[in-house]
Amino acid sequence: MHAFGFDLRHRRPPPLLNVHDYECAARRRLPAMVREYIDGGADDLATLTKNREAFTRWEFRPRILTGTQKPDLATTVAGIDLDLPVLLAPVGLSGLAHWRGDVAAARAAERRGTRHILSTASSWTIEEVAAATAKGHFFQLYPHSGETAATLMKRAWNAGNRMMMVTADYPMRGNREGERRTGMGPPPVLTPGTALRLCRHPAWTYRALRHGRIPARNLVEGSGVSAAVQSVEIQDRHLSQSTLTWDDLGWLRDTWPGRFYVKGVLTPEDADKAAALGLDGIVVSNHGGRQLDFSPATLDVLPEIVTAVGNRNTEILLDGGIRRGTDVVKALALGARAVLIGRPYLYGLAVASEKGVTRVLDILREEIERTLTLLGAPSIHNLTPTHLRPSPQTGEDDR
């Protein structure tokens, strides 16, 4: 049957063309409590929203007739060659998105010439991820106590991780009310309402119970429901680090033989301290808007942080709100060496496990290449702030 030239017999689901499509498809597959865990943010979600809005405040200044064909996306982070300037951010309990969680993500990153940063609160252990991958990935540490930190660092090094990223914006858990409302906790609670919501997603629930890949396996042994509950409580007991200081960070840096990064920098003062300590890198991050609400959008503070670090050898990475290749190019033009994505790859994971994460990385690669070609920039290394200008609606003129 034809109508207006369209063949109505083949009604295939629409293709997933971009990260937003993956986000919608992932939402349909996940129970409400998991959706809230992934998508939610702190308090009034101001920072979560700002992270995205910040990218709309810049527009491009394309150059014509530059003869740019296939732009160069290769770079290095922590001395490791990467085929594209996008890494997979550390994400706790990624087994909630899909039971193959960290293993699928790390394998997808490897297939696409980049790296996955394994969270302390991962659903697969450091050793399991190492066994399932060929290359050394990166490890993110929540250094709760000296003993836990030392043990995790030793395990990470022995498993082949050569980059350590300490997350420093988690002195306590942010207030995520959506998680509490849907029963995600902490700790998770099984009410009749939660049970009903889980029943609406039998495939997810079956796989979660069968594979038991929800707990933070580096910290909890076991795989049953009680371990899953326990594992979310762990975020308070083991991951919060209210007493951590710059001295402790210096100690951790001296203990770790490889490259050392700190994640969660939002001010030039802290960026300066990190560079003065001789850290190899910082991640400009507000934890995806999940910790302190009304902390600034990461893109907004990037320029002042780049200035504060100056020409010291401290690499600057950025995360928060990256959903498009244009976002990546804007962050790089403002001085980031590479970016991290969190939720975008969880959407890929939820939709199609390793293949889904690979596809999300492919989409971003295609979008970055297209953006650079249209911008007339032959390589990510040629990008400078001169490729951007403030968007007129929000720029200096209108303020």
Ligand X SMILES: Cc1cc2nc3c(=O)[nH]c(=O)nc-3n(C[C@H](O)[C@H](O)[C@H](O)COP(=O)(O)O)c2cc1C
Active site residues: 287
Phi, psi of 138 (to 5 degrees): -115, 155
Long-range contacts of 12-16 (CB under 8 A, 24+ apart): 16/351, 16/359
Query: Which positions ≥6 away from 21 have C-beta within 8 Å?
Result: 14, 15
Cβ distance to ligand X smaller for residue 231 or 285: 285
Pick 51 or 75: Cβ nearer ligand X: 51
Q: Which residues pair with 117 in a beta bridge?
A: 138
Nearer to ligand X (CB atom), residue 95 or residue 321 = 321
Closest residue (Cβ) to ligand X? 342
Angle at 331 between CA 239 and CA 69, to 5 degrees: 130
Q: Minimum distance between the CB of residue 321 and ligand X, rounded to whole angstroms? A: 5
Describe the strand order of the beta sheet including 138-141 as a list of residue ranges: 86-88, 338-341, 315-319, 281-284, 259-265, 163-167, 138-141, 117-118
- Nearer to ligand X among residue 68 and residue 324 (C-beta): 324
Residue number, 35 or 377, with CB nearest to ligand X: 35
Residue 60 buriedness (CB in 10 A; 0-12 / 13-18 / 19+): middle
Q: What is the DSSP letter of 7?
A: E
- DSSP character string of 85-125: SEEEPP-TTGGGT-TTHHHHHHHHHHHTT--BEE-TT-SS-
305, 331 Cβ separation under 8 angstroms = no
How far is 388 from 56, CA to CA, in rounded Å? 11
CB of 121 to ligand X, least distance (A): 5
Smallest gap from residue 284 Cβ to ligand X (A): 10
**Helix, strand, coil % over all residues of the chain, rounded to 5:** 45, 15, 40
Q: Which is nearer to ligand X, 331 or 352 (CB)?
A: 331
Greatest Cα pair distance, the chain, in angstroms, is 72
CB of 201 to ligand X, least distance (A): 17
Nearest distance from C-beta of residue 365 to ligand X, angstroms = 16
* 153 burial level (CB within 10 Å; 0-12, 13-18, 19+): buried
Residues lying near ligand X in the complex (CB under 6 A) are found at 37-38, 51, 89-92, 119, 121, 140, 167, 263, 285, 287-288, 290, 319-322, 341-343
Least Å distance, CB 260 to ligand X, is 15
